[in-house]
Structure 1
Amino acid sequence: MPISSINGCIGCGECVKSCPTDVIRLNSKGKAEIKYPDDCQICHLCRLNCPVDAITITPEKSIPVIVSWG
């Protein structure tokens, strides 16, 4: 499982909106929850768009973030 946890979620939904593979969903309490961890492409978009740094990606699955400047 690439994403290890979502702690401190404020329920803004930015991670849900930014995930290209629809891995994260808001649960009945309005908090982000990892529903399909095996489908995660480790793109880091959820982590980069989280305003409170609530998402942690496991070190063994983490890859360097590559930012295109063009």
Structure 2
Amino acid sequence: MAIENINGCIGCGICVKTCPTDVIRLDPETKKATIKYPADCQICHLCRMYCPVDAITITPEKSIPVIVSWG
């Protein structure tokens, strides 16, 4: 699973709009974000960064360290 802890989701849809690989969808019944295609997540963190209520957490097994180029 790429993203966990969506219980605080307010259903704004910002994560759906910011996801470049289209893995997040709003559930029509609960009106909350759900991960439909976790294997396709590219771990870009855009959903987490733009979530206005900080409801998204990237799980450690999917998180990658930030690489900084000094060259």
Query: TM-score range, shorter-chain basis?
Result: 0.7 to 0.9
Quote the offset at 1:65 in angstroms: 5.0
Per the alignment, residue 55 of structure 2 pairs with 54
Per the alignment, residue 39 of structure 1 pairs with 40
Greater fraction strand: 1
8 Å CA contact retained: 1:24, 1:32:
yes
2:31 match: secondary structure: coil
Between the two proteins, the alignment pairs up a number of residues equal to 67
Equivalent position amino acid for 2:14 in 1 = E
- CA 47–13 in structure 1, closer or farther in 2 if over 3 Å, else same: same
Equivalent position amino acid for 1:41 in 2 = Q
Per the alignment, residue 7 of structure 1 pairs with 7
Larger Rg: 2
Q: Percent identity?
A: 80
8 Å CA contact retained: 1:9, 1:31:
yes
Name structure 2 gaps, 5 residues minimum.
Answer: none
RMSD: 1.8
**TM-score, L = length of structure 2:** 0.82
Partner Cα separation in structure 2 for residue 5 and residue 54 of structure 1: 6
